[in-house]
Structure 1
Protein backbone atom coordinates (compact mmCIF):
# COMPACT_ATOMS: atom_id res chain seq x y z
CA UNK A 1 0.00 0.00 0.00
CA UNK A 2 1.46 3.33 -1.09
CA UNK A 3 0.60 6.41 0.95
CA UNK A 4 0.28 9.89 -0.50
CA UNK A 5 2.31 12.79 0.90
CA UNK A 6 -0.84 14.18 2.54
CA UNK A 7 -1.56 10.86 4.22
CA UNK A 8 2.01 10.61 5.48
CA UNK A 9 1.85 14.19 6.80
CA UNK A 10 -1.41 13.41 8.63
CA UNK A 11 0.05 10.20 10.07
CA UNK A 12 3.12 12.07 11.24
CA UNK A 13 0.91 14.44 13.23
CA UNK A 14 -0.90 11.48 14.79
CA UNK A 15 2.36 9.69 15.62
CA UNK A 16 3.80 12.91 17.07
CA UNK A 17 0.81 13.30 19.40
CA UNK A 18 0.91 9.64 20.41
CA UNK A 19 4.59 9.95 21.27
CA UNK A 20 3.72 12.72 23.74
CA UNK A 21 1.02 10.68 25.50
CA UNK A 22 3.46 8.96 27.93
CA UNK A 23 4.87 12.35 28.95
CA UNK A 24 1.38 13.78 29.45
CA UNK A 25 0.44 10.75 31.56
CA UNK A 26 3.54 11.09 33.74
CA UNK A 27 3.05 14.85 34.06
CA UNK A 28 -0.54 14.34 35.17
CA UNK A 29 0.54 11.65 37.62
CA UNK A 30 3.16 13.95 39.11
CA UNK A 31 0.68 16.85 39.32
CA UNK A 32 -1.96 14.68 40.98
CA UNK A 33 0.54 12.94 43.29
CA UNK A 34 -0.21 9.55 41.71
CA UNK A 35 3.38 8.33 41.24
CA UNK A 36 3.68 6.49 44.53
CA UNK A 37 5.74 7.01 47.67
CA UNK A 38 8.85 8.01 45.71
CA UNK A 39 7.54 10.02 42.73
CA UNK A 40 10.97 11.24 41.57
CA UNK A 41 12.38 7.71 41.34
CA UNK A 42 9.19 6.53 39.63
CA UNK A 43 9.47 9.41 37.14
CA UNK A 44 13.13 8.66 36.39
CA UNK A 45 12.45 4.97 35.82
CA UNK A 46 9.34 5.57 33.72
CA UNK A 47 11.15 8.05 31.47
CA UNK A 48 14.02 5.59 31.14
CA UNK A 49 11.68 2.77 30.14
CA UNK A 50 10.03 4.99 27.51
CA UNK A 51 13.46 5.91 26.17
CA UNK A 52 14.23 2.23 25.70
CA UNK A 53 10.80 1.56 24.17
CA UNK A 54 11.27 4.33 21.61
CA UNK A 55 14.75 3.03 20.82
CA UNK A 56 13.38 -0.46 20.13
CA UNK A 57 10.50 0.96 18.09
CA UNK A 58 12.98 2.96 16.02
CA UNK A 59 15.13 -0.14 15.46
CA UNK A 60 12.05 -2.08 14.36
CA UNK A 61 11.26 0.28 11.47
CA UNK A 62 13.71 -1.24 8.97
CA UNK A 63 12.78 -4.87 9.72
CA UNK A 64 9.07 -4.01 9.50
CA UNK A 65 9.65 -2.23 6.19
CA UNK A 66 11.49 -5.27 4.82
CA UNK A 67 8.81 -7.68 6.01
CA UNK A 68 5.81 -5.63 4.86
CA UNK A 69 7.23 -3.77 1.87
CA UNK A 70 5.85 -0.50 3.31
CA UNK A 71 8.64 1.91 2.44
CA UNK A 72 6.64 4.78 3.95
CA UNK A 73 7.61 3.47 7.40
CA UNK A 74 11.07 4.94 6.87
CA UNK A 75 9.49 8.41 6.90
CA UNK A 76 8.76 7.96 10.62
CA UNK A 77 12.16 6.63 11.72
CA UNK A 78 13.80 10.01 12.33
CA UNK A 79 10.87 11.30 14.38
CA UNK A 80 10.81 8.18 16.54
CA UNK A 81 14.58 8.32 17.00
CA UNK A 82 14.38 11.94 18.11
CA UNK A 83 11.60 11.09 20.54
CA UNK A 84 13.91 8.42 21.95
CA UNK A 85 16.51 11.15 22.51
CA UNK A 86 13.85 13.52 23.90
CA UNK A 87 12.82 11.00 26.56
CA UNK A 88 16.50 10.24 27.26
CA UNK A 89 17.12 13.96 27.90
CA UNK A 90 14.13 14.08 30.28
CA UNK A 91 15.31 10.90 32.02
CA UNK A 92 18.80 12.37 32.41
CA UNK A 93 17.54 15.83 33.44
CA UNK A 94 15.21 14.53 36.16
CA UNK A 95 18.07 12.45 37.58
CA UNK A 96 20.50 15.41 37.56
CA UNK A 97 18.03 18.08 38.69
CA UNK A 98 15.29 16.59 40.82
CA UNK A 99 17.10 13.54 42.20
CA UNK A 100 20.64 14.89 42.62
CA UNK A 101 19.89 18.67 42.76
CA UNK A 102 22.81 19.26 40.36
CA UNK A 103 25.27 18.16 43.05
CA UNK A 104 28.09 17.39 40.62
CA UNK A 105 30.32 15.80 43.27
CA UNK A 106 27.56 13.37 44.27
CA UNK A 107 26.76 12.72 40.59
CA UNK A 108 30.41 11.94 39.82
CA UNK A 109 30.56 9.53 42.77
CA UNK A 110 27.32 7.91 41.60
CA UNK A 111 28.73 7.39 38.10
CA UNK A 112 31.89 5.76 39.48
CA UNK A 113 30.30 3.60 42.18
CA UNK A 114 27.08 2.41 40.51
CA UNK A 115 27.60 0.43 37.27
CA UNK A 116 24.07 1.01 35.98
CA UNK A 117 24.58 4.80 36.28
CA UNK A 118 27.92 4.46 34.46
CA UNK A 119 26.22 2.51 31.67
CA UNK A 120 23.37 5.01 31.52
CA UNK A 121 25.74 7.95 31.12
CA UNK A 122 27.70 6.07 28.46
CA UNK A 123 24.47 5.31 26.59
CA UNK A 124 23.35 8.93 26.68
CA UNK A 125 26.78 10.13 25.55
CA UNK A 126 26.64 7.82 22.52
CA UNK A 127 23.07 8.86 21.73
CA UNK A 128 23.91 12.58 21.69
CA UNK A 129 25.92 12.70 18.41
CA UNK A 130 23.22 10.67 16.64
CA UNK A 131 20.60 13.27 17.61
CA UNK A 132 22.87 16.17 16.62
CA UNK A 133 23.55 14.66 13.18
CA UNK A 134 19.96 13.56 12.47
CA UNK A 135 19.22 16.36 9.98
CA UNK A 136 19.50 16.14 6.18
CA UNK A 137 21.99 18.99 6.28
CA UNK A 138 24.32 17.08 8.61
CA UNK A 139 24.00 14.00 6.41
CA UNK A 140 25.11 16.02 3.38
CA UNK A 141 28.01 17.61 5.24
CA UNK A 142 29.26 14.30 6.64
CA UNK A 143 28.67 12.28 3.51
CA UNK A 144 26.32 9.31 3.35
CA UNK A 145 28.98 6.70 4.16
CA UNK A 146 30.32 8.51 7.25
CA UNK A 147 26.80 9.33 8.41
CA UNK A 148 25.72 5.70 8.14
CA UNK A 149 28.86 4.52 9.95
CA UNK A 150 28.14 6.89 12.84
CA UNK A 151 24.47 5.95 13.07
CA UNK A 152 25.26 2.24 13.22
CA UNK A 153 26.27 3.04 16.79
CA UNK A 154 22.55 2.72 17.55
CA UNK A 155 23.04 -1.06 17.74
CA UNK A 156 25.63 -0.66 20.51
CA UNK A 157 23.41 1.94 22.17
CA UNK A 158 20.56 -0.58 22.21
CA UNK A 159 22.74 -3.16 23.97
CA UNK A 160 24.00 -0.58 26.49
CA UNK A 161 20.46 0.67 27.18
CA UNK A 162 19.21 -2.84 27.94
CA UNK A 163 22.20 -3.46 30.24
CA UNK A 164 21.56 -0.14 32.00
CA UNK A 165 17.95 -1.17 32.67
CA UNK A 166 18.91 -4.74 33.64
CA UNK A 167 21.54 -3.64 36.16
CA UNK A 168 19.20 -1.05 37.63
CA UNK A 169 16.35 -3.52 38.25
CA UNK A 170 18.55 -6.13 40.02
CA UNK A 171 15.78 -8.41 41.37
CA UNK A 172 12.82 -8.82 39.00
CA UNK A 173 14.51 -8.97 35.59
CA UNK A 174 11.40 -10.00 33.66
CA UNK A 175 11.09 -6.78 31.65
CA UNK A 176 14.82 -6.40 30.98
CA UNK A 177 14.78 -9.95 29.62
CA UNK A 178 11.82 -9.14 27.37
CA UNK A 179 13.56 -6.02 26.04
CA UNK A 180 16.78 -8.00 25.57
CA UNK A 181 14.87 -10.65 23.61
CA UNK A 182 13.26 -8.02 21.36
CA UNK A 183 16.63 -6.36 20.76
CA UNK A 184 18.28 -9.70 20.00
CA UNK A 185 15.53 -10.50 17.50
CA UNK A 186 15.84 -7.11 15.77
CA UNK A 187 19.64 -7.24 15.58
CA UNK A 188 19.53 -10.91 14.53
CA UNK A 189 17.22 -10.07 11.63
CA UNK A 190 19.56 -7.31 10.46
CA UNK A 191 22.58 -9.61 10.69
CA UNK A 192 20.79 -12.35 8.75
CA UNK A 193 19.89 -9.92 5.95
CA UNK A 194 23.47 -8.62 5.79
CA UNK A 195 24.87 -12.16 5.58
CA UNK A 196 22.37 -13.03 2.85
CA UNK A 197 23.33 -9.87 0.97
CA UNK A 198 27.04 -10.70 1.29
CA UNK A 199 26.47 -14.17 -0.13
CA UNK A 200 24.57 -12.66 -3.06
Structure 2
Protein backbone atom coordinates (compact mmCIF):
# COMPACT_ATOMS: atom_id res chain seq x y z
CA UNK A 1 0.00 0.00 0.00
CA UNK A 2 1.47 3.33 -1.03
CA UNK A 3 1.21 6.46 1.10
CA UNK A 4 -0.14 9.82 0.09
CA UNK A 5 2.14 11.42 -2.55
CA UNK A 6 4.14 14.44 -1.41
CA UNK A 7 2.44 17.73 -2.04
CA UNK A 8 5.10 20.08 -3.39
CA UNK A 9 2.57 22.84 -4.01
CA UNK A 10 3.10 24.32 -0.59
CA UNK A 11 0.26 26.82 -0.99
CA UNK A 12 -2.30 23.97 -1.15
CA UNK A 13 -3.75 21.96 1.71
CA UNK A 14 -3.92 18.17 1.95
CA UNK A 15 -7.00 18.13 -0.28
CA UNK A 16 -5.03 20.11 -2.93
CA UNK A 17 -7.19 23.18 -2.36
CA UNK A 18 -5.68 26.64 -2.37
CA UNK A 19 -5.14 27.89 1.19
CA UNK A 20 -4.71 31.56 2.06
CA UNK A 21 -3.21 30.61 5.41
CA UNK A 22 -0.57 28.32 3.90
CA UNK A 23 0.20 30.88 1.19
CA UNK A 24 0.70 33.73 3.66
CA UNK A 25 2.90 31.53 5.85
CA UNK A 26 4.94 30.37 2.83
CA UNK A 27 5.57 33.97 1.76
CA UNK A 28 6.45 34.93 5.33
CA UNK A 29 8.95 32.07 5.60
CA UNK A 30 10.68 32.88 2.31
CA UNK A 31 10.71 36.67 2.61
CA UNK A 32 13.55 37.08 5.19
CA UNK A 33 16.10 35.05 3.22
CA UNK A 34 15.12 36.87 0.00
CA UNK A 35 15.57 40.27 1.66
CA UNK A 36 18.92 39.22 3.17
CA UNK A 37 20.07 37.92 -0.22
CA UNK A 38 18.97 41.18 -1.86
CA UNK A 39 20.94 43.20 0.71
CA UNK A 40 23.96 41.00 0.06
CA UNK A 41 23.65 41.46 -3.72
CA UNK A 42 23.33 45.23 -3.33
CA UNK A 43 26.23 45.43 -0.91
CA UNK A 44 24.08 46.67 1.97
CA UNK A 45 25.22 44.24 4.67
CA UNK A 46 27.83 46.61 6.04
CA UNK A 47 31.62 46.40 6.27
CA UNK A 48 31.52 42.71 7.32
CA UNK A 49 28.93 41.23 4.95
CA UNK A 50 29.64 37.57 5.75
CA UNK A 51 29.25 38.15 9.48
CA UNK A 52 26.06 40.16 8.92
CA UNK A 53 24.62 37.44 6.67
CA UNK A 54 25.44 34.70 9.20
CA UNK A 55 23.96 36.71 12.07
CA UNK A 56 20.74 37.65 10.28
CA UNK A 57 20.04 34.14 8.95
CA UNK A 58 20.74 32.62 12.38
CA UNK A 59 18.46 35.18 14.01
CA UNK A 60 15.61 34.22 11.70
CA UNK A 61 16.25 30.52 12.37
CA UNK A 62 15.71 31.20 16.07
CA UNK A 63 12.66 33.39 15.42
CA UNK A 64 11.03 30.68 13.33
CA UNK A 65 11.84 28.09 16.00
CA UNK A 66 10.00 30.24 18.55
CA UNK A 67 7.11 30.75 16.12
CA UNK A 68 6.82 26.98 15.68
CA UNK A 69 6.54 26.67 19.47
CA UNK A 70 3.92 29.43 19.48
CA UNK A 71 1.57 27.65 17.08
CA UNK A 72 0.09 25.13 19.54
CA UNK A 73 -0.60 27.63 22.37
CA UNK A 74 -2.04 30.18 19.92
CA UNK A 75 -4.25 27.58 18.23
CA UNK A 76 -5.58 26.51 21.63
CA UNK A 77 -5.93 30.02 23.09
CA UNK A 78 -7.56 31.56 20.00
CA UNK A 79 -9.69 28.46 19.23
CA UNK A 80 -8.05 28.33 15.79
CA UNK A 81 -7.32 24.64 15.06
CA UNK A 82 -6.51 25.33 11.39
CA UNK A 83 -3.33 27.03 12.58
CA UNK A 84 -1.88 23.62 13.42
CA UNK A 85 -1.45 22.93 9.69
CA UNK A 86 1.44 25.41 9.53
CA UNK A 87 3.42 24.27 12.58
CA UNK A 88 5.50 21.68 10.75
CA UNK A 89 6.31 24.09 7.93
CA UNK A 90 7.57 26.75 10.30
CA UNK A 91 9.71 24.19 12.10
CA UNK A 92 11.22 22.96 8.84
CA UNK A 93 11.94 26.58 7.87
CA UNK A 94 13.78 27.06 11.18
CA UNK A 95 15.88 23.99 10.34
CA UNK A 96 16.68 25.24 6.81
CA UNK A 97 17.65 28.70 8.03
CA UNK A 98 19.90 27.11 10.67
CA UNK A 99 21.61 25.00 7.98
CA UNK A 100 22.17 28.14 5.87
CA UNK A 101 23.50 29.83 9.01
CA UNK A 102 26.13 27.08 9.39
CA UNK A 103 26.86 27.09 5.64
CA UNK A 104 27.49 30.85 5.78
CA UNK A 105 29.91 30.32 8.66
CA UNK A 106 31.67 27.58 6.67
CA UNK A 107 32.07 29.88 3.66
CA UNK A 108 33.38 32.64 5.94
CA UNK A 109 36.00 30.15 7.15
CA UNK A 110 37.01 29.35 3.55
CA UNK A 111 35.38 25.90 3.78
CA UNK A 112 38.31 24.69 5.88
CA UNK A 113 36.49 21.78 7.51
CA UNK A 114 39.33 20.90 9.89
CA UNK A 115 39.49 24.48 11.14
CA UNK A 116 35.69 24.64 11.41
CA UNK A 117 35.58 21.42 13.42
CA UNK A 118 38.32 22.65 15.75
CA UNK A 119 36.52 25.97 16.28
CA UNK A 120 33.26 24.17 17.08
CA UNK A 121 35.06 21.94 19.57
CA UNK A 122 37.06 24.80 21.12
CA UNK A 123 34.45 27.57 21.43
CA UNK A 124 31.61 26.66 23.75
CA UNK A 125 29.03 28.90 22.08
CA UNK A 126 29.78 27.23 18.74
CA UNK A 127 29.54 23.79 20.36
CA UNK A 128 26.14 24.64 21.82
CA UNK A 129 24.93 26.08 18.52
CA UNK A 130 26.12 23.03 16.59
CA UNK A 131 24.34 20.66 18.98
CA UNK A 132 21.15 22.71 18.55
CA UNK A 133 21.59 22.56 14.77
CA UNK A 134 21.98 18.77 14.83
CA UNK A 135 18.79 18.55 16.84
CA UNK A 136 16.93 20.77 14.38
CA UNK A 137 18.15 18.65 11.46
CA UNK A 138 16.93 15.50 13.23
CA UNK A 139 13.51 17.10 13.68
CA UNK A 140 13.49 18.42 10.12
CA UNK A 141 14.23 15.10 8.41
CA UNK A 142 11.57 13.34 10.50
CA UNK A 143 8.86 15.90 9.75
CA UNK A 144 7.33 14.05 6.79
CA UNK A 145 4.17 11.96 6.94
CA UNK A 146 6.23 8.91 5.98
CA UNK A 147 8.58 9.34 8.94
CA UNK A 148 5.63 9.82 11.29
CA UNK A 149 4.18 6.50 10.11
CA UNK A 150 7.58 4.81 10.31
CA UNK A 151 8.36 6.01 13.83
CA UNK A 152 4.83 5.73 15.13
CA UNK A 153 2.93 8.56 16.78
CA UNK A 154 4.23 8.19 20.38
CA UNK A 155 7.89 7.85 19.34
CA UNK A 156 7.58 10.72 16.89
CA UNK A 157 6.07 12.99 19.55
CA UNK A 158 8.81 12.08 22.05
CA UNK A 159 11.44 12.89 19.45
CA UNK A 160 9.88 16.22 18.53
CA UNK A 161 9.61 17.18 22.20
CA UNK A 162 13.35 17.85 21.75
CA UNK A 163 12.29 21.16 20.21
CA UNK A 164 12.08 22.55 23.77
CA UNK A 165 15.67 21.81 24.88
CA UNK A 166 16.87 22.76 21.40
CA UNK A 167 15.24 26.17 21.83
CA UNK A 168 16.94 26.55 25.23
CA UNK A 169 20.31 25.70 23.67
CA UNK A 170 19.63 28.24 20.92
CA UNK A 171 18.98 30.94 23.54
CA UNK A 172 22.24 30.12 25.31
CA UNK A 173 24.10 30.20 21.97
CA UNK A 174 22.50 33.56 21.19
CA UNK A 175 23.52 35.03 24.56
CA UNK A 176 27.11 33.79 24.36
CA UNK A 177 27.74 35.15 20.88
CA UNK A 178 25.88 38.43 21.43
CA UNK A 179 28.69 39.84 23.62
CA UNK A 180 27.84 43.51 24.29
CA UNK A 181 24.19 43.89 23.27
CA UNK A 182 21.99 41.25 24.91
CA UNK A 183 18.69 43.05 24.30
CA UNK A 184 17.35 40.69 21.66
CA UNK A 185 18.61 37.50 23.35
CA UNK A 186 16.86 38.66 26.54
CA UNK A 187 13.67 39.30 24.58
CA UNK A 188 13.82 35.86 22.96
CA UNK A 189 14.54 34.23 26.31
CA UNK A 190 11.51 35.99 27.81
CA UNK A 191 9.21 34.81 25.04
CA UNK A 192 10.61 31.29 25.23
CA UNK A 193 9.95 31.33 28.99
CA UNK A 194 6.35 32.34 28.27
CA UNK A 195 5.88 29.55 25.73
CA UNK A 196 7.40 26.84 27.91
CA UNK A 197 5.69 28.14 31.05
CA UNK A 198 2.30 28.19 29.36
CA UNK A 199 2.65 24.52 28.48
CA UNK A 200 3.33 23.75 32.14
CA UNK A 201 0.40 25.96 33.18
CA UNK A 202 -1.88 24.15 30.76
CA UNK A 203 -1.00 20.85 32.42
CA UNK A 204 -1.55 22.17 35.94
CA UNK A 205 -4.87 23.95 35.39
CA UNK A 206 -7.78 21.60 34.56
CA UNK A 207 -10.25 21.73 31.68
CA UNK A 208 -8.43 24.28 29.56
CA UNK A 209 -8.54 27.00 32.23
CA UNK A 210 -5.04 28.12 31.18
CA UNK A 211 -6.63 29.91 28.24
CA UNK A 212 -8.93 31.98 30.46
CA UNK A 213 -8.19 35.70 30.69
CA UNK A 214 -7.19 35.94 34.41
CA UNK A 215 -4.53 33.18 34.28
CA UNK A 216 -3.17 34.53 30.99
CA UNK A 217 -2.93 38.07 32.33
CA UNK A 218 -1.34 37.03 35.60
CA UNK A 219 1.09 34.67 33.92
CA UNK A 220 2.10 37.29 31.33
CA UNK A 221 2.82 39.89 34.02
CA UNK A 222 4.81 37.33 36.01
CA UNK A 223 6.98 36.35 33.02
CA UNK A 224 7.56 40.01 32.11
CA UNK A 225 8.72 40.77 35.66
CA UNK A 226 10.93 37.68 35.62
CA UNK A 227 12.45 38.86 32.34
CA UNK A 228 13.22 42.28 33.82
CA UNK A 229 14.68 40.71 36.96
CA UNK A 230 16.78 38.18 35.05
CA UNK A 231 18.22 40.93 32.86
CA UNK A 232 19.11 42.99 35.94
CA UNK A 233 20.85 40.00 37.54
CA UNK A 234 22.68 39.29 34.28
CA UNK A 235 24.02 42.84 34.02
CA UNK A 236 25.11 42.67 37.67
CA UNK A 237 26.89 39.32 37.18
CA UNK A 238 28.63 40.20 33.92
CA UNK A 239 29.18 43.95 34.07
CA UNK A 240 28.86 44.55 37.82
CA UNK A 241 26.12 47.15 37.31
CA UNK A 242 23.80 47.86 40.27
CA UNK A 243 20.86 45.47 39.77
CA UNK A 244 18.35 47.86 41.36
CA UNK A 245 19.20 50.60 38.84
CA UNK A 246 19.04 48.16 35.92
CA UNK A 247 15.71 46.80 37.17
CA UNK A 248 14.35 50.33 37.47
CA UNK A 249 15.43 51.06 33.90
CA UNK A 250 13.89 47.78 32.71
CA UNK A 251 10.53 48.61 34.29
CA UNK A 252 10.42 52.20 33.07
CA UNK A 253 8.54 52.83 29.84
CA UNK A 254 10.52 55.53 28.03
CA UNK A 255 10.33 55.78 24.25
CA UNK A 256 13.29 58.17 24.13
CA UNK A 257 15.60 55.77 25.96
CA UNK A 258 14.17 52.65 24.34
CA UNK A 259 11.66 50.02 25.41
CA UNK A 260 13.23 47.17 27.34
CA UNK A 261 12.58 43.47 26.55
CA UNK A 262 10.25 42.92 29.53
CA UNK A 263 7.69 45.28 27.99
CA UNK A 264 7.75 43.40 24.69
CA UNK A 265 7.29 40.12 26.56
CA UNK A 266 4.31 41.64 28.36
CA UNK A 267 2.94 42.92 25.02
CA UNK A 268 3.16 39.40 23.59
CA UNK A 269 1.30 37.98 26.58
CA UNK A 270 -1.39 40.67 26.32
CA UNK A 271 -1.72 39.92 22.60
CA UNK A 272 -2.33 36.25 23.36
CA UNK A 273 -4.83 37.24 26.05
CA UNK A 274 -6.67 39.33 23.47
CA UNK A 275 -6.59 36.33 21.12
CA UNK A 276 -8.38 34.31 23.84
CA UNK A 277 -11.08 36.99 24.09
CA UNK A 278 -11.54 37.05 20.31
CA UNK A 279 -11.58 33.25 20.15
CA UNK A 280 -14.26 33.04 22.83
CA UNK A 281 -16.36 35.66 21.03
CA UNK A 282 -16.12 33.74 17.76
CA UNK A 283 -17.04 30.51 19.54
CA UNK A 284 -20.14 32.10 21.07
CA UNK A 285 -21.12 33.55 17.71
CA UNK A 286 -20.85 30.15 16.05
CA UNK A 287 -22.90 28.54 18.81
CA UNK A 288 -25.55 31.24 18.40
CA UNK A 289 -25.72 30.68 14.65
CA UNK A 290 -26.09 26.92 15.14
CA UNK A 291 -28.80 27.46 17.76
CA UNK A 292 -30.79 29.63 15.36
CA UNK A 293 -30.38 27.26 12.44
TM-score between the two structures when normalised by the length of structure 2? 0.63
Greater helix content: 1
Q: 2:164 and 2:18 mapped to 1: Cα distance?
A: 27
Alignment deviations for residues 25-68 of structure 1 (CA, whole Å, 9 cap, x no partner): 11111101000000000000000000000000110001101111
1:160: which partner in 2? 169
CA-to-partner distance for each residue in 1:73-118, whole Å, 9 max, x for gaps? 101101111111111111011111x211221221122112211111
CA separation in 2, counterparts of 1:140 and 1:109? 38
Structure 1 alignment gaps of length 5 or more: none
Per-residue displacement from partner, 1:170-195 (whole Å, max 9, x unpaired)? 11111100000000000000011123
Query: Residue in 2 aligned with 1:50?
Result: 60
TM-score (norm: length of structure 1): 0.92
Distance of aligned partners of 1:6 and 1:197 in 2 relative to their CA distance in 1, 3 Å threshold: farther
Aligned counterparts of 2:140 and 2:84: Cα–Cα separation in 1: 17
Deviation at 1:124, TM superposition (A): 0.5
Q: Provide the rounded CA distance (Å) in 1 between the counterparts of 2:206 and 2:75.
A: 17
What CA distance in whole angstroms lies between the structure 1 residues aligned with 2:73 and 2:17?
22
> CA distance change for structure 1 residues 8 and 167 in 2, over 3 Å: closer, same or farther?
farther
> 5 Å matches for 1:4-19?
9-19=19-29
- 4+ long deviations beyond 6 Å: 5-8
Residue of structure 2 in register with 1:141 after alignment: 150
Q: What does residue 69 of structure 1 align with?
A: 79
Distance in 2 (alpha carbons) for counterparts of 1:42 and 1:126: 24
Q: Summarize the Cα distance change of 1:7–1:185 in structure 2 as closer, same or farther, 3 Å threshold.
A: farther
Runs of 5+ in structure 2 lacking a partner? 1-14, 208-293
The answer on 1:82 being equivalent to 2:112 is no
1:35 corresponds to 2:11: no
Task: Give, in angstroms, the shift of residue 17 of structure 1.
Answer: 1.4
Q: In the aligned structure 1, how far is the partner of 2:24 from the partner of 2:77?
A: 23
May I ask how many residue pairs the two structures share in their alignment?
193
Distance 1:58 1:41 in 2: 26
Deviations 1:138-166 (A, max 9, x none): 11111110000000000001000111111
Aligned pairs for 1:119-198 within 5 A: 119-196=128-205
